[in-house]
Structure 1
């Protein structure tokens, strides 16, 4: 009995070891197959061999498709698993704003010139840097080359990461940064202001004029590159990112989607009031804007401009934009949001998914089923609440969940 158990254990270990070796061999073969593409991109054989020799996949990364492992999507961004008050924390904003004020002075000459050329406010550039890497203090946890190679091999977006991997090798071959300093997030963003390699080549700026685009060590290069990315995505000079407003008592929260856009002046005529009582110029009132209510009718309301959505292209999340925009404002004004967050509680992800499926079934929701209470989900919830005779607050709740389940 003992002998049979021992033999079985040896077989299991041997099979596992053989399987692992086969998997590693397949990975090595896959990487080798990328050489023609790398060569076409200008990567030298020397660089390719040096950077891929001994390279191993990191199967602990998220967003991979592996045999025997459930298909896991990208990990939820913090704003999707926390209520807004937990993401846009006053303590974090205040700390980063204070440091940002110091950096405004330290890099004043460079920031002024970048702002003059790009039209992007210095405070917005600094806010992105602060949010992305805590002004360079945050140590990114992953080796970029390993991340991109793994994602290209078994990730959900293989083709995208195949290109990013080759471009990372190209950067290394140009000698701008060492492999040791080329740290990244799990998704392959690197540098002080978090660029993918393709973004580095699309938006990178050698602002300090040393002949290299160094977003890892040169603060002026990193900030100018962040500003250039915003410009390339449509940044409008002289336009705010958003205006905090007091919504009218009978606000229709189902209009809080990008598809509903009106001149700011029209929103004001409908009863929305700037929270600080400021008078907006004719040019400001002519700007198109959309309504954003991150907690439905609870918490702050905002009229978001074109530049709001430009920042959102930098990182596709509404609370990221609120964090960056508010942090930028706080570098020149000590005032927090006029309306406090209402500390709303989201339901469990699977409950929100249930609501999304129910809303899809009745034709009110056409976006992805992801368990997140984003803009489209909130608007669809509000539309359902109207049809069901419930209080219309555009926010997921147990009451709405029960109603949707009962309507099957």
Structure 2
């Protein structure tokens, strides 16, 4: 019996059908896992209801603001199961060298506009300084740094950001509370969901407060019966001043003084724990920039040494108010930006000592340094890949021990020495 010949047309059609079925199966597999993930997120959001109710959020507001909410897995700094870490925070404060972050063109542009705003809001700024003791240029500089004086539209829906961070962020408990605080703001009617825009970290308003901070530090300075950090410049600026005061701002004290360090300065002293009267620093050879003469009261103030690029670039003697601003944003570069911008708006000049063109090590390399310094018991702070004051001082201590140049700056040369076991 002769075998039946295959019909080539039927074979092609059959293969096409098989491919189409396979494609359909593949399409159903991927969404099912995504749907499962979203179902877990929805369940997580639902689990927050008792906590929200205890905070005074109504069922109607909770349902309205969280209904259909989806996570945003594209945000930085998330811990996603089964996926690589999204990396350290992409804030410029932690990934740029000072010369880039404190770019003269940016400072000059903001200072120019800031001087116009100083005139426009002169009465408000005088009233704020009289009440809180915080100079107008300081709070204007915060506004300028945070949202470009309100000209920068924040890119994210705050509720979605806070919910995502509470679900898979690195600080879940903190953001859980911030999400509840955001729902409280929406229920109060002080802000609409449309206007409740945020940074990727969940900060809102002209001067960038976390939702809970609005309640803690918010001030109704324009007297309209509500704290409006989204549309009221007086409220936003007064609230920023109130936050600084609540964190320890001292009336009549500068944020810092730029100085020239002597050649024998020990950069390992550049930590908050090492404080001396400014007059003592001057006796040790530190010279105020541009011939500035400090009064007896100023010289009696306690200050710490700050050298953001180790022995390279400018040096500063930082007062308590420096660290108060740092409570607003925990970055030396942020505080330098705000303080220097405030000085420029008040008529000051650019930094006397230029920033060096230093290379910024990758976060993973700085983390490796911090781990090694911890092993050597020279460092006991966070392993976060950020070369802050304590990391730089610990590096200087290591350099002394290893018999290499002491500059308190994380470099490839120091990293190689550590890896070589020196």
Deviation at 1:265, TM superposition (A): 0.9
Give the counterpart of 1:119 among 122, 125, 133: 133
1:325 match = 339
2:262 match = 248
Give the counterpart of 2:290 among 276, 280, 290: 276
Deviation at 1:10, TM superposition (A): 3.0
**Does residue 331 of structure 2 align to residue 294 of structure 1?**
no
1:360 match = 374
Say if 2:185 and 2:191, in contact at 8 Å, map to a contact too.
Answer: yes
Q: In structure 2, what is the Cα distance between the partners aligned to 1:64 and 1:395?
A: 29
**After the TM superposition, which of the residue ranges 120-129 and 273-282 deviates more from structure 2?**
273-282
Task: Give the match's secondary structure for 1:57.
Answer: coil
**After the TM superposition, which of the residue ranges 15-24 and 112-121 deviates more from structure 2?**
15-24
1:194 match = 208
**After the TM superposition, which of the residue ranges 28-37 and 81-90 deviates more from structure 2?**
28-37
Q: In structure 2, what is the Cα distance between the partners aligned to 1:371 and 1:166?
A: 31
**Does residue 114 of structure 2 align to residue 100 of structure 1?**
yes
Say if 2:88 and 2:363, in contact at 8 Å, map to a contact too.
Answer: no
Cα shift readout 1:163-193 (whole Å, capped 9, x = no counterpart): 1111111111111111111100011000000
1:52 match = 66
**Does residue 54 of structure 2 align to residue 40 of structure 1?**
yes
Deviation at 1:64, TM superposition (A): 2.0
Q: In structure 1, what is the Cα distance between the partners aligned to 2:19 and 2:372?
A: 51
TM-score (norm 1): 0.96
Cα shift readout 1:188-241 (whole Å, capped 9, x = no counterpart): 000000001100000000000101100000000000000000000000000000
- CA 1:336 to 1:347, structure 2 compared with 1: closer, same or farther past 3 Å? same
Give the counterpart of 1:161 among 175, 185, 189: 175
**Does residue 241 of structure 2 align to residue 227 of structure 1?**
yes
TM-score (norm 2): 0.93
Cα shift readout 1:319-359 (whole Å, capped 9, x = no counterpart): 00000000000011241011111121133333333322322
Q: In structure 1, what is the Cα distance between the partners aligned to 2:410 and 2:191?
A: 47
Larger-gyration structure (1/2): 2
Q: Which runs of 5+ in 2 are unaligned?
A: 1-14
**After the TM superposition, which of the residue ranges 368-377 and 115-124 deviates more from structure 2?**
368-377
Q: Which runs of 5+ in 1 are unaligned?
A: none
Give the counterpart of 2:223 among 209, 221, 237: 209
**After the TM superposition, which of the residue ranges 346-355 and 127-136 deviates more from structure 2?**
346-355
Provide the aligned C-alpha RMSD in A: 1.6
Cα shift readout 1:144-167 (whole Å, capped 9, x = no counterpart): 011111112222222111111111
Q: In structure 2, what is the Cα distance between the partners aligned to 1:288 and 1:253?
A: 18
Task: Give the match's secondary structure for 1:276.
Answer: helix
